[in-house]
Amino acid sequence: MLTGNIRLAKNLLNTHFQHFLRHLADAPTPQALARLAEALGGLWLAAAQDGTAESAAGLVSDAADALTRRLLQLAQAELGPPPVAYAWIAYGSQGRRELTLNSDQDNALVFAEDYRENRHGAYFAELAGRVCSGLADCGFILCPGNMMASNPAWRLRSSDWAQHFHDWIVASDRHKARLAGNFFDLRGIDGDARLLSPLFATLAELCPRHDSLLAHWVANANVAPSALGMFRRFIVDDSGRLDLKHAATIPLVELARIHSLAAGFVHTSSTLPRLLAAAGKRWLSEAGAHDLAGSWAFIGELRVRQQRQALMRGEAPDNHIDPSALSPETQEKLRQTLQLIALHQRALLQIYPHMPS
- What are the structural domain ranges in the chain? 1-195, 210-357
Between 357 and 87, name the one with better pLDDT: 87
Backbone φ and ψ for 242, nearest 5 degrees, come out as -115, 135
Q: How many CB atoms lie within 10 A of CB 308?
A: 18
Helix residue ranges, H only, the chain: 2-26, 30-37, 40-50, 53-79, 92-95, 117-137, 158-170, 174-183, 197-206, 211-221, 244, 250-262, 271-278, 286-312, 328-351
Q: What's the confidence (pLDDT) of residue 41? A: 87
pLDDT tens digit string along 43-90?
Answer: 888 888 766 788 889 999 999 999 999 999 999 999 999 999 999 999
Does residue 253 register a pLDDT over 60? yes
Does residue 357 register a pLDDT over 60? no
CATH number of 210-357: 1.20.120
Q: How far apart are CA 41 and CA 57, in angstroms?
A: 12
Q: How far apart are CA 228 and CA 307, in angstroms?
A: 23
CB 187 within 8 A of CB 97: yes
Q: What's the confidence (pLDDT) of residue 351? A: 86
Q: How many CB atoms lie within 10 A of CB 220?
A: 16
Which of 47-56, 162-171, 312-321 is predicted least confidently? 47-56
Q: What's the confidence (pLDDT) of residue 22? A: 94
Question: 245, 240, 247: which is closest to 326 by C-alpha?
Answer: 240
pLDDT tens digit string along 258-287?
Answer: 999 999 999 899 999 999 999 999 899 999
Q: How far apart are CA 178 and CA 257, in angstroms?
A: 12
Q: How many CB atoms lie within 10 A of CB 219?
A: 18
CA atoms within 13 A on the CB side of 303: 25
β-bridge partners, 141? 104
Q: Band the pLDDT of 211: cuts 50, 70, 90.
A: confident
Helix (H, G, I), strand (E, B) or coil at 207: helix
Give me the amino acid identity at 129: G
Helix (H, G, I), strand (E, B) or coil at 284: strand
Task: Residues 1-195: name the CATH superfamily.
Answer: Beta Polymerase, domain 2 (3.30.460.10)
CB 47 within 8 A of CB 154: no
Query: What are the residues whose beta carbons fall under 8 Å from the beta carbon of 122, sequence distance 6 or more?
Result: none
Q: What's the confidence (pLDDT) of residue 354? A: 59
pLDDT tens digit string along 3-21?
Answer: 334 454 455 466 788 999 9
Q: How far apart are CA 222 and CA 234, in angstroms?
A: 18
**Model-level pTM greater than 0.75?**
yes
Q: What percent of the chain has pLDDT over 70?
A: 94
Q: Band the pLDDT of 102: cuts 50, 70, 90.
A: confident
Q: What's the confidence (pLDDT) of residue 8? A: 40
CB 222 within 8 A of CB 349: yes
* Averaged confidence pLDDT in the chain: 91
Q: What's the confidence (pLDDT) of residue 297? A: 95
Q: What's the confidence (pLDDT) of residue 5? A: 41
CB 130 within 8 A of CB 149: no
Q: Band the pLDDT of 221: cuts 50, 70, 90.
A: confident
